[in-house]
Amino acid sequence: MKLLRSRRESTLEHRLVWQAAALLLTYPDDQQAERLATVEELLTHVPAAPADLLATTVAALRDRDPMQAQADYVDTFDMRRRTTMYLTYWTAGDTRNRGNHMLAFARTYREAGVSPPEREAPDYLPVVLEFAATVDPEAGRRLLVEHRAPIDLLCDALQQSASPYAYAVAAICETLPARTEQDIQRAQRLAASGPPAESVGLQPFTLTVPPRRAQGV
């Protein structure tokens, strides 16, 4: 009984981390202040290690001018492939197979009783985190674990560029199993070779994280 209670508490804490990270990794629009306040409330129920990481991102975002925060976000996630939040990009790249990978995400959502998002790709990290936090934590965790290498690569790239978002992604990693040697080697291979490429019959892949907005930054 004690083990079951501990497992439930761990699942709840992880869901709170995922929800907080999803809010922090969202484009800093007019609702940013409200999202940051929500995250700070969530952090009162999160273990110290991930809470400290998430709080670091909160503090950095609070200190930024709103227009600068928006510009930084676009520069980080829209303009750099190494910091894309589309999880299947690193595993399937610009290939026909990427569609099948994204369909697997959509199928997982439908099996949990919800529709895939209409305005965003189903493999977009904040979408996956929201699903794991609010719909099906076990299925959501499975998606995150299966795409541990892309998440690790994203975290490493954000750390190398001294981005405040690195701490939020590091907090996500705190909720996942410890990396195995196989996980490390896979991430290293992806980092060295880049995503798969297939140019025949395909349009060039263009990042749109989040969907392109009607008004510029």
- Over the stretch 89-121, which tens digit does the pLDDT of each residue have? 877 665 566 778 888 999 999 999 999 988 899
Cα separation of 165 and 149, whole Å?
A: 17
Cα separation of 142 and 122, whole Å?
A: 14
Confidence category of residue 202, pLDDT binned at 50, 70, 90: very low
**Beta carbons of 129 and 18 less than 8 angstroms apart:** yes
User: Considering the domain 15-40+49-193, what is its CATH architecture?
Assistant: Orthogonal Bundle (1.10)
Which pTM does this prediction carry? Answer: 0.82
Cα separation of 132 and 11, whole Å?
A: 10
Of 215, 167, 206, which Cα lies nearest the Cα of 70? 215
pLDDT in tens, 118-170: 889 999 999 999 999 999 999 999 999 999 989 999 999 999 999 999 999 99
Say yes or no to pLDDT of 204 above 60: no
200 DSSP assignment = T
Say yes or no to pLDDT of 187 above 90: no
Q: Where are the domains of the chain?
A: 15-40+49-193
User: Exposed, middle or buried, 168 (CB in 10 Å: 0-12/13-18/19+)?
Assistant: buried
